[in-house]
Structure 1
Amino acid sequence: MGLEEDKTKPNAVSKCSDYSIAFLLIYMICSVPPATGFSLKSCRISLNAAICTDSQLKFVPQDVPSTVTSFDLSKNQISRIQRSNFTNLTVLEDLNLHENHISKIDSGAFANLISLRKLTLNNNKLVKLGELAFDGLGNLTELRLNTNKITALSPTAFQSLTRLKLLDISQNKLETMSNLHLILQHTPQLQEFVIKTNVLRTFQSWKLTNRSLDLQALDLSHNPIRDFSVTANIFPNLTRLIIGDKFSVVPMKWDVKNRTFLRQLASLDVSGLHTSLENMEALLKTVNSSLTSLTLNNIKRSRTQLINLSCSIPTVSKLQFRSNNLRTISSYFFKPCVNVVELDLSENHIKSIDENAFTSMINLTILKLSKNKLSSVPNATQTLQNLSQLDLSNNMISTLTCQDFSSQTKLKELSLQNNSIFTLTECAFKGLVQLQILRLQSSQITDLKGAFKTSLPKLKRLHLNGNKLTAIRKGEFEGLKSLWNLSLHQNQIQILEKGCFAGLLNLTDIQLQSNGITTRTLIGPFQGLSSLKRLYLNDNHIKYFNITPLRKTPFSDLHQLEELSLHGQHHRGKSSLPSNFLQGLKRLLSFSARNSQLINLDKDTFVNTPNLERLDLSSNDLEILTPELFAPIRNLKSLYISRIAVHSLDFLTGANLNKLEFLQGRHNQYSVVSEDIIKSLPSLQYLDFKYNNFYCDCSNAWFVNWTIFSKQTQVNDAYNFSCNYPDDFKGKRLLDFDLKPCSQDINLICFASTTSMILFVMAGSFIYHFMRWQLYYAYYLFLGWLFDSKYKNKQAPHQYDAFISYNHHDEPWVIGELLPKLEGEQGWKLCLHHRDFEPGKPITENIMDAIYGSRKTICVISRRYLESEWCSREVQTASFRLFDEQKDVLILVFLEDIPTYLLSPFHRMRKLLKKQTYLSWPRAANHPEVFWENLRKALQTGNDPNEEKLQLAVIETH
């Protein structure tokens, strides 16, 4: 018909092909074995890193995924590295073999590690590095071989390390310069070379190399070097040199021929160097044009002269003078050090410092006096008005006076930990207006005495942990307006008065763990902490007897809190959590109640924490968990439920934890993990069920298979899961259980389903090839029946004599020939779509109204007509009316000669029903009136089936 452009039918061949492909894919899934997953026997995967540390491994595991970029095999018992150990790890960047028993590396053992950047082999038993030991490591930049027993190197051992930048071969037994020469000739980009604690007795540049090196740092400390000689400019870029051995008894001779050879040296450490004062003077003169940092620890003699020599170098700004047993510092000792900015005098047994000891050091900004025997803050520090960092930790200071820091207006960091201060005073920190970090931990403080009510406006971190505080009074910290972090853990706090944290508007972290805090303590202390994000209350004595809602909840004001830790509460008997305990914590991300002796949790416990991502309920006596408990926390990503005596994991199936990525459930009572449980956690990436006893029967068959082959989820230590049932399997490993008896039914189902699918595809292809047009015919008869069922009981007087069904390409013939003859001359009333269809009504309804509102339907057949879906629908609807009502209502008029193979089966079947005379338009060219007369007779034919014997009027014109 001519409603619109032709809408040809979909390509049925293409559809059939699509279905065939789908069936073949299903068959392949059933018949092809799955690829191996990544549950490892001795390792675990974390963020693309394979971690196999401390696993008593004697060989390198071969089940590590080839995609890992980091591989940690430290603290095992591997004795040999073989060529086959790392064949597939082509993207590995970091390999750690620290602390094994490795005594041999095969030639080319690392050849396939083409992406390796860092290799750690320290703390092993290597004696000799053999030929091509590091062959293939062209991208290696860091190699650590310290703490072995290496005495010799093969000429080609370092041959491939052309990009190496750091080599640590300290704590070995290298004796000769020839070994160093072998290394340096193959490592042109080496920048840091650590050779400390070997047995080198000489260091002579002409034995090392004859070219300029790119070295920037060289550590020769703890070698018994007697002769240090540089006769050529081989170190043009050297900026850091460490040399000296406090255990050496033979003096070292320093011989650098030209002062320009070390012209870039900025940092020099000669700690423990045994040499004459003349040699030391020569040494310092060699570097006095560039040196900025000088370390003189463990110097046995001539300390005053050394200080004078050191401070005479105008560029030295950092001086470390530790472990020199100074005991006292006189007013003249550091007088020459006017340019020193940082001074470290730790571990010197200093008891007294002259008041004018630092007067000349007007530029000093960092002073470290830790690990001495000072009993009070030295008055000498009061003259240092430019200090930004002062370290007085680990002394014997017992009191702080109001004048100790009053002049330190620029001080930003003050360390007083590990003293014996006992009590503070209100003015102890007067003048510290710029202080940002204050360390007072482990100083036996029992009372703060209002020390923090004023004076410290810019303090950000306050460490008071490890003291003997028992109470925090109201307004105790109200002067710390800028404080971010407050550490009060490991005290004896039992009382937190209401408003004790008042004024701390910027506080984000409070550590209150390991105190004596009880349930009563929690009433009111956290009011006003609007910025608090982390609160640690673990290892206290908090206990609630039931889940009854609290009248006043402890954290209702902490609207920004993200982490709350309550684990490890110490009290007698079991406890619960009130149902509204977490009220107000809308932004809470992490909550830990591990080891708190909880026996139950109300279903509304987490209703106030919709954003919770990490939940730790381990080591409690919960036994039963319900899906309703987890319903409010659908954003949960990590769940810890180890040691809770739970007998089943079925609660997970209804918990809707679709975002859960990490699940740990060690030491519990469940023995079966069903398919429904695992499939209820679609985002699961890491599963830890260690130390559970499993049923080794078919109830766990799916879990075993999934554990081995899952590519999404790693099951930690799965190969050590043990069986406890049946008795014959006790002590055996779960993954050793034979699944074949459990898979018989599955194999039968797979066989039956795939066989059925194959037969279905074959039958479908056969039917489509030989009977596709009949299928189309049946399809359209069905559509006709559907339409007819709507109109069958709505018979009404016919409005038209005939409905004309045609394609719009044939419209000229219909308007120019058919319409004038039938309506103009013969007087029939015809229905045409473009003239008589009701606007706005659906096309299908218009078609049905036209067919059932007309005595006859005239189908004007052409090639275009046969290709049109809407035209086919019209003729099929009329055909169904013919068959169903036994009424001769269909007239076919062919406008062109159409081969039989192009006619759809419904047209061929209609021809079988009618054996009427066929008229050819060319043969009737001299008398066309015969054609129109035959058409008139067909329209006059009644609807009685006996009248025409259900013969269809067929009129052809060409």
Structure 2
Amino acid sequence: MGTICFLYLWLATLLVAHGFRGTGPTNSSSDNIPICMENLDMCLHIYAADRETCGENWCQCCNRVEPHRAPMYAYCMQHYGKLTYIPKLPGIEYLDLKNNFLTSHNMTERFFTNITHITCLVLAQNKITWLDQSMFRNMKNLKCLSISGNPLQSQTIVRSMLSVPGLQALSAAECGLPMLNKNLFQNISSDVKYFWFDENSINTSTYDMTVFCPLTELQNLALRVCNIKYITSECPLKIESLDLYNNLMDNFPKTCMHNNESMFPNLTLLSLEKNRISSINEACLPKLRTLDLTANLMIRLTENYFDQKNFPVLTELDLKSNAGATPLIPNNTFSNPSLIRLSLDDNRISFDIHRAVETNAFANSRIMQLSLTGNTFKNIDNGRFVQLFGHLPLRKLKLSKNKLDLLALKTLWIFKNLELLDLERTEIASLPDGAFDSFRNLVHLDLSDNKITSISELTFNHETRQRLKVLFLDNNPFICSCDLMWFKEWFVSQPKVFLRHTDTENKYTCENIPGVNLTDFSMAKQACLLSQSLNVMIVFTCTLVIVTLTIASLVFRFRWNIRLALYEAFRGRGDVRMMRLLTDHFDYDVFVSYAKEDLPWVYQRLMPELESRLGLRLCVHERDFIPGNNIVDNIVESVQSSKKILMVFSKDFVRSQWCQFELTFCMNHVMNYDDVLLIVCVDDVASRDMTAAMMAVLKTTTYIQWEELDDAVDSFWGRLRLALHEIIPRGGALP
């Protein structure tokens, strides 16, 4: 029974995808036959409460489309040999006789006397070995017949059933039949449009589809689970839908005949789900609109894989659940302007890695429905996401079962026309105010199974709340408090917006109150008002603390800037400095602070100029510090024994802890003696690398930049001599 039900549901879905619509079955339209078969099965399972006993207590009857109207569906099944006749079933159009141990001995014209008016008959899962079309001679309305799951003895039975006048849908799956003889349907008259021949005993890897050529009305063919590896045909087939689910195909099926004539010139839907296909070399499918390659081995795609050369009007493409390694998607893989719907679900594609998905993989695409469920977005940032998908005119986007750690919800605002957005299981913890207000067409939003604890009243404005028809927020760890009371009221007033079709998925519970559902949670208004006042006080206090800490942090960060600014504003005219120069005894003229990596510049450039040419005595710690003394004592004594202090700033100076100590000590020293630091920069130091003290000095002190150009070198020494003029001995500066 499960196989037959699955077939019904599959074909109904298949036809709906091709535009077959309608509220229920009718006798006048053959296009509704598979929909009626779906209703027959769904009535049994979904509307059990609305079923009633009928047919002399042998059957259950109901109406799938309108449960409270006269029954249209009857189930006289699973009596296992006890049912020897069909009772009267007035008004019934669809009858299921599965699992009654019916045999060919029962199958006479007289056996069907009471049901000559029915439209759909299911004889599946019985013990029928032989049938003839004459048995159905009086069933003038019969459109749909299932003989699946019976041990048929001959292929000619299938020929006979296809010849039943007016029959438009036949299921002969699981009948133990071999591949049909190529000439079986020659000179046949058949009205059948839908034919299932799944799970039969196909004993060859190459399936010759020439047998179906005489069936001029055939539109939909299913050959699922038949061990088919290759297909061939001596003539073009007029079918519009072909299902080759779960076969053994290693390559895309052959669709080109001689002179590149199409083997399937009218084919609009091709299902190759669950095969072993790894590549597409050539295709001749001028009208194919839907291609299903789910659960294959499409690992390494190539540029223009699905372009208009192979698929001129391809509209829908399924590439879900490809086994093996993660697929690699190069540029222009989906550059087919006719492609509207694409599914890449459950492929573990790393969209954040450029070598896995190249930047222009979706270039020249006009995809409107994109499903990317179950892939990898963990490290994708806003810029990368926009590069990949920003140009697509999306209306439906599914990103469920992904980690969107770095992706901001506001990035999705580029898709102005979104109608459906699925963010289920994306580990979203909070929803910013107005997060979805920019989507003027959004009616379906799924945020279930995330980490959302609270929802602000500003998250969805009034217009958004009115527009949303579906908002799933189940299985989130809500913290039930006063802040969530507004949402509870919305939830209770419009349950159809928030609840799914099955109760098992509708889990809206309070994480902080075990066993309490959101609908049962309540709080007194007075308690919430008190909480609001307390919240205002807390916010004010926290704001004051934050402001105070911020000011303290800024003062600490810019302490040297502030100190130097105050020093410049209040220092004297240099009397203290001049008095010190005249009265104190100095061992050195200039104390030089530098990083050891800059020692070559000091030895080769600075010392020859200042000592040899200007006659100054420099304190260079590599040469002049007293061995054995504490390094701090050496620094303090040398600075105090020097008339001037010169700092050599560089990238290495920034990284040296001793240089930073010398800078801090020297800044305090010059402030105490009303002096200034002499700063030279021997290379470019990025401001982000400098310490606060260095930044403060460079902002308040004119420094001298070293450059290797001849004119620049002359200028450098001239400026340095000018800065040292107070201590240069007479006659020491050479012309």
C-alpha contact (below 8 Å) 1:489/1:512 kept by paired residues: yes
Match of 2:369 in 1: 563
Change (3 A) 1:144 1:552: same
Q: CA deviation at 1:485?
A: 0.6
Match of 1:737 in 2: 523
1:650 aligned to 2:458? no
Matches within 5 A, 1:263-342: 271=102, 307=132, 310=135, 325-328=151-154, 341-342=162-163
Q: CA deviation at 1:675?
A: 3.4
One-letter amino acid matched to 1:439? D
1:378 aligned to 2:181? yes
2:350 alignment partner, one of 543, 560, 564: 543
C-alpha contact (below 8 Å) 2:237/2:263 kept by paired residues: yes
One-letter amino acid matched to 1:467? N
1:595 aligned to 2:401? yes
For residues 135 and 344 of structure 2, the distance between their equivalents in structure 1, rounded to whole angstroms, comes to 51
1:553 alignment partner, one of 360, 367, 378: 360
2:317 alignment partner, one of 510, 535, 539: 510
For residues 186 and 139 of structure 2, the distance between their equivalents in structure 1, rounded to whole angstroms, comes to 22
For residues 363 and 243 of structure 2, the distance between their equivalents in structure 1, rounded to whole angstroms, comes to 31
Change (3 A) 1:385 1:399: farther
Q: Normalization by structure 1: what TM-score?
A: 0.40
One-letter amino acid matched to 2:301? L
Match of 2:52 in 1: 145
C-alpha contact (below 8 Å) 1:586/1:611 kept by paired residues: no
1:455 alignment partner, one of 263, 268, 271: 263
Match of 2:456 in 1: 674
1:469 aligned to 2:308? no
Deviations 1:794-842 (A, max 9, x none): xxxxxxxxxxxxxxxxxxxxxxxxxxxxxxxxxxxxxxxxxxxxxxxxx
Deviations 1:622-679 (A, max 9, x none): xxxxxxxxxxxxxxxxxxxxx32x2x43343696456655554445555444333344
DSSP 3-state at the match of 2:230 = coil
C-alpha contact (below 8 Å) 2:434/2:461 kept by paired residues: no
Deviations 1:434-453 (A, max 9, x none): 22111111111112364356
Q: CA deviation at 1:404?
A: 3.3
Match of 1:432 in 2: 236
DSSP 3-state at the match of 1:486 = strand
DSSP 3-state at the match of 2:255 = coil
Q: CA deviation at 1:550?
A: 8.8
Change (3 A) 1:239 1:229: closer
Deviations 1:752-784 (A, max 9, x none): xxxxxxxxxxxxxxxxxxxxxxxxxxxxxxxxx
For residues 581 and 649 of structure 1, the distance between their equivalents in structure 2, rounded to whole angstroms, comes to 24
For residues 226 and 122 of structure 1, the distance between their equivalents in structure 2, rounded to whole angstroms, comes to 27
Change (3 A) 1:536 1:692: closer
What number of residue pairs does the alignment pair up?
A: 464
For residues 368 and 219 of structure 2, the distance between their equivalents in structure 1, rounded to whole angstroms, comes to 29
Deviations 1:696-735 (A, max 9, x none): 555555555x4477679966699954253xxxx6766662
Matches within 5 A, 1:759-798: none
Match of 2:220 in 1: 413
C-alpha contact (below 8 Å) 2:207/2:230 kept by paired residues: no
Q: CA deviation at 1:461?
A: 0.8
Change (3 A) 1:289 1:242: closer
Matches within 5 A, 1:74-89: none
Q: CA deviation at 1:408?
A: 3.7
For residues 712 and 121 of structure 1, the distance between their equivalents in structure 2, rounded to whole angstroms, comes to 21
DSSP 3-state at the match of 2:459 = helix
Which protein, 1 or 2, shows the higher relative CO under an 8 Å CA cutoff with sep ≥ 6? 1
C-alpha contact (below 8 Å) 1:500/1:525 kept by paired residues: yes
1:484 alignment partner, one of 279, 289, 304: 289
For residues 227 and 655 of structure 1, the distance between their equivalents in structure 2, rounded to whole angstroms, comes to 63
DSSP 3-state at the match of 1:588 = coil
For residues 290 and 731 of structure 1, the distance between their equivalents in structure 2, rounded to whole angstroms, comes to 55
One-letter amino acid matched to 1:535? L
C-alpha contact (below 8 Å) 2:373/2:398 kept by paired residues: yes
DSSP 3-state at the match of 2:210 = coil
One-letter amino acid matched to 1:492? L
DSSP 3-state at the match of 1:381 = coil
Match of 1:722 in 2: 510
Match of 1:524 in 2: 332
Q: CA deviation at 1:556?
A: 2.1
One-letter amino acid matched to 2:294? H
Change (3 A) 1:683 1:373: same
For residues 122 and 448 of structure 1, the distance between their equivalents in structure 2, rounded to whole angstroms, comes to 42
Q: CA deviation at 1:612?
A: 2.0
Match of 1:916 in 2: none
| Structure 1: stretches of 5+ with no match in the other structure | 1-98, 100-117, 125-142, 147-166, 175-188, 199-220, 249-270, 344-360, 621-642, 748-958
Change (3 A) 1:681 1:491: same
One-letter amino acid matched to 2:265? P
For residues 239 and 615 of structure 1, the distance between their equivalents in structure 2, rounded to whole angstroms, comes to 42
Match of 2:38 in 1: none
Deviations 1:200-249 (A, max 9, x none): xxxxxxxxxxxxxxxxxxxxx8795789999xxxx9x878697989869x
For residues 433 and 523 of structure 1, the distance between their equivalents in structure 2, rounded to whole angstroms, comes to 35
DSSP 3-state at the match of 1:580 = helix
For residues 594 and 658 of structure 1, the distance between their equivalents in structure 2, rounded to whole angstroms, comes to 22
Match of 1:534 in 2: 341
Change (3 A) 1:651 1:376: same
Matches within 5 A, 1:39-58: none
C-alpha contact (below 8 Å) 2:291/2:318 kept by paired residues: yes
Look at both structures and tell me which one has the larger radius of gyration over its CA atoms: 1
Alignment identity in percent?
A: 20
| Structure 2: stretches of 5+ with no match in the other structure | 1-41, 62-68, 534-735
For residues 590 and 289 of structure 1, the distance between their equivalents in structure 2, rounded to whole angstroms, comes to 47
C-alpha contact (below 8 Å) 1:535/1:564 kept by paired residues: yes
Matches within 5 A, 1:17-32: none
Change (3 A) 1:145 1:273: farther
C-alpha contact (below 8 Å) 1:501/1:526 kept by paired residues: yes
C-alpha contact (below 8 Å) 2:417/2:442 kept by paired residues: no
DSSP 3-state at the match of 1:378 = coil
Question: What's the C-alpha RMSD, in Å, of the aligned pairs?
Answer: 5.4
For residues 189 and 301 of structure 2, the distance between their equivalents in structure 1, rounded to whole angstroms, comes to 38
For residues 58 and 277 of structure 2, the distance between their equivalents in structure 1, rounded to whole angstroms, comes to 46
Change (3 A) 1:380 1:372: farther
For residues 305 and 287 of structure 2, the distance between their equivalents in structure 1, rounded to whole angstroms, comes to 16
Match of 1:842 in 2: none
For residues 76 and 457 of structure 2, the distance between their equivalents in structure 1, rounded to whole angstroms, comes to 58
